[in-house]
């Protein structure tokens, strides 16, 4: 099963993608997590990506597409995967589509997690992220067992550099301009499903599971 998560920054794509990955035993692939891991490790790719991410801009397609195509070609992706944060532009979607078509494959579901902009800024300021394993928490909704420490791996949790309110505004603008057109793209392919992302995360997940059945 090949699934794409669509939605504004902070809509809960990552939160839901992790739950889907666990339930269906498929890898969760987040281009944002891949970039953040590279930034943390000080790689060339990380330094390049950081320039864009810190401003709330998209990393150029040339950098992003190659990383994603390499990742989905790996052995553990044989039975499918859930993509979180990719594609984010029409050209990215077209490249993915073409690569899959060459293998006689296609995306099965594009899940659009719908959350209005007003809710987003509030959510982001409460988010805490683990840059080691990619786990995400929220100081009110999903607190870690011990404040500031990742439940999974024990590393310190941080407020992401791009979660400052002014950067969030920029990310929302970029989302509406460059990513939202993908909703029409996947509607035209007959695979788009929209869920209400404003309800409790468990209820969002239930809505997704009933679509995937």
Q: Look up residue 18 and give its two tokens.
A: 């992790």
> Is 36 an active-site residue?
no
Positions 144 through 203 that interact with ligand AP5 (CB under 6 A): 162, 171, 197, 200-201
44's enclosing H/E stretch is helix 44-53
Q: Does 207 bind ligand AP5 (CB under 6 A)?
A: no
Of 14, 87, 134, 197, which one interacts with Mg ion (CB under 5 A)?
A: 14
Q: Does 1 bind Zn ion (CB under 5 A)?
A: no
CB of 11 to Zn ion, least distance (A): 22
Q: Which DSSP string corresponds to 55-117? A: TTPPPPHHHHHHHHHHHHTSGGGTT-EEEES---SHHHHHHHHHHHHHTT----EEEEEE--H
- What helix, strand, coil percent values describe the chain, rounded to 5? 50, 15, 35
Binding window for Zn ion (CB under 5 A); candidates: 31-39, 99-107, 127-135, 163-171: 127-135
Q: Are 7 and 114 in contact (CB under 8 A)?
A: yes
CB of 22 to Zn ion, least distance (A): 15
How far is it, in rounded angstroms, from Cα 157 to Cα 53? 19
Of 4, 20, 26, 35, which one interacts with ligand AP5 (CB under 6 A)?
A: 35
CB of 103 to ligand AP5, least distance (A): 20
Q: Are 179 and 6 in contact (CB under 8 A)?
A: yes
> Is 127 an active-site residue?
yes
Of 101, 153, 199, 211, which one interacts with Zn ion (CB under 5 A)?
A: 153
Upstream peptide bond of 87 is cis (omega within 30 degrees of 0)? yes
Of 6, 88, 95, 110, which one interacts with ligand AP5 (CB under 6 A)?
A: 88
Given its phi and psi angles, is residue 30 left (phi above 0), alpha (psi -120 to 50 degrees) or beta?
A: beta
Interface residues with ligand AP5 (CB under 6 A)?
7, 9-15, 30-32, 35, 52-53, 56-59, 64, 85-86, 88, 92, 123, 126-127, 136-138, 141-142, 162, 171, 197, 200-201, 204
Interface residues with Mg ion (CB under 5 A)?
14
Q: Catalytic amino acids?
A: 13, 88, 127, 160, 171
């Amino acid at each position: 099963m090949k699934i794409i998560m669509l939605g504004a920054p902070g809509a809960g794509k990552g939160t839901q993608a992790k739950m889907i990955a666990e339930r269906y035993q498929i890898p969760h692939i987040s281009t944002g997590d891949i970039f953040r891991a590279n930034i943390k490790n000080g790689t060339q790719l990380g330094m390049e990506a950081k320039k864009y991410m810190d401003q709330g801009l998209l990393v150029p397609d040339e950098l992003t597409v190659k990383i994603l195509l390499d990742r989905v070609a790996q052995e553990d992706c044989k039975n499918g995967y859930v993509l979180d944060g990719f594609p984010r532009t029409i050209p990215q979607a077209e490249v993915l589509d073409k690569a899959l078509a060459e293998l006689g494959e296609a995306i099965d579901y594009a899940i659009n997690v719908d959350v209005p902009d007003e809710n987003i800024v509030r959510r982001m300021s409460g988010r805490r992220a683990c840059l080691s394993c990619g786990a995400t928490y929220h100081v009110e909704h999903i607190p870690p067992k011990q404040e500031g420490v990742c439940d999974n791996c024990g590393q310190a949790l941080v407020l992401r550099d791009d979660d400052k309110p002014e950067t969030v505004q920029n990310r929302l603008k970029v989302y509406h301009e460059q990513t939202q057109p993908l909703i029409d793209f996947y509607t035209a392919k007959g695979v788009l499903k929209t869920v209400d992302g404003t309800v409790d995360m468990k209820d969002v997940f239930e809505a997704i599971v009933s679509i995937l059945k």
